[in-house]
């Protein structure tokens, strides 16, 4: 019974982790659109910055799982 509880706890943590990752990626996309809308930066510069930050965050989430 204890093992089942531990497995369920791990599954819950993984689901929470995936949910937080998805929210973070959505926030990055919104930031990209806001930056592009308010500034005169080219799309490629902003895209590279957001891509870099997203990859960094994904690595942290993958290490957590």
Give the separation between CA 63 and CA 6, rounded to whole angstroms.
Answer: 19
Q: Where is pLDDT greater, at 30 or 5?
A: 30
Query: What is the percent of the chain with per-residue pLDDT over 90, rounded to a whole number?
Result: 0
Q: What is the mean pLDDT of the chain?
A: 73
Give the separation between CA 1 and CA 3, rounded to whole angstroms.
Answer: 5
Q: Which domain holds residue 49?
A: 2-64
DSSP code per residue over 1-65 = -HHHHHHHHHHHHHHHHHHHHHHHHHHHHHHHHHHHHHS---HHHHHHHHHHHHHHHHHHHHHH-
Q: Is the pLDDT of residue 26 over 80?
A: yes
Q: Taking the model in full, what pTM does it have? A: 0.49
Give the separation between CA 63 and CA 31, rounded to whole angstroms.
Answer: 24
Q: Is the pLDDT of residue 9 over 60?
A: yes
Tens-digit pLDDT profile for residues 45-56: 777 887 888 788
Domain count of the fold of the chain: 1
């Amino acid at each position: 019974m204890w093992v089942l509880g531990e497995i369920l706890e791990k599954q819950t943590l993984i689901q929470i982790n995936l949910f937080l990752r998805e929210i973070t990626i959505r926030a990055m996309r919104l930031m990209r659109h806001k930056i592009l809308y308010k500034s005169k930066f080219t799309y490629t510069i902003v895209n590279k910055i957001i891509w870099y930050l997203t990859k960094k965050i994904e690595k942290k989430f993958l290490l957590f799982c």
